[in-house]
Amino acid sequence: MKKITILLIALSLTFSFSSCEATKNANNKQKGGAIGATAGALLGAIIGNNAGNGKNSELGAVIGGVIGGGAGVLIGKKMDDQAKKIETEMPGAVVERVDNGIVVTFDENSGVYFDTNKSDINAKSKETLHKLTEVFKEFPDTKILVVGHTDSSGRDDYNMTLSEKRAKAVTNYLINDGILGSRLETMWYGETQPKFDNATPQGRAKNRRVNIAILPNGDMIENAKKEAGQ
């Protein structure tokens, strides 16, 4: 009966979220419940084309592996629901469903941005982050990873510090707005992980970004495994 139930859920997922752009872009292996060893696609969505770099092992450890089988399907349904909610509440942000997680990307054109050489969050950005906080409260069985980046303008060490300050500013805002600190991880990469071409103004603007990855926590994983009989 459990296997039949999981199969029905998997089939229903194919049709239930066709209107949500984030779930249209969902990783097909995750959608089908296939077993994967690492969350490489999620890592790539956060840091770009440098996912295979050995220096990213710490970030990979935070992200963890892909959950497969029936548990992966059940978790995928919950993450689809959350991605759809974020897209509805924050139409300016880029929302992607990747592996077992969600990646929300903010740059200068999508809701959370910083003035040049500044790390304080302005009033408009606070309004956007507050909407995200309300979604996090609605879906408590997740962990949240905040990752800061800059473009290549300026000194390497300055950019690394700036990306740290910006990532921590977002994390601190989420905590002050009611999210438990135990749910949050904060990382920063300066200019070392571009996703776009730093040779163009448009590429540099997109590289000045903060990624927020939303991942299933231990409780969600264990509950899904029990429900799936894994």
Q: What is the pLDDT of residues 74-128, one digit of tens each?
A: 999 999 999 999 999 887 788 999 988 999 988 777 778 777 788 888 888 898 8
What is the 3-class SS of the chain, one letter each residue?
Answer: CHHHHHHHHHHHHHHHCCCCHHHHCCCHHHHHCCCCCCCHHHHHHHHCCCCCCHHHHHHHHHHCCCCCHHHHHHHHHHHHHHHHHHHHHCCCCEEEEECCEEEEEECCCCCCCCCCCCCCCCHHHHHHHHHHHHHHHHCCCEEEEEEECCCCCCCHHHHHHHHHHHHHHHHHHHHHCCCCHHHEEEEECCCCCCCCCCCCHHHHHHHCCEEEEEEECHHHHHHHHHHHCC
What CATH number has the domain spanning 2-228? 3.30.1330.60
Low-confidence winner among 1-10, 31-40, 189-198, 216-225 (lowest mean pLDDT): 31-40
How do residues 133-188 score in pLDDT, each as one tens digit?
999 999 999 999 999 999 999 999 999 999 999 999 999 999 999 999 999 999 99
Domain ranges across the chain: 2-228
pLDDT at 178: 97
pTM: 0.82
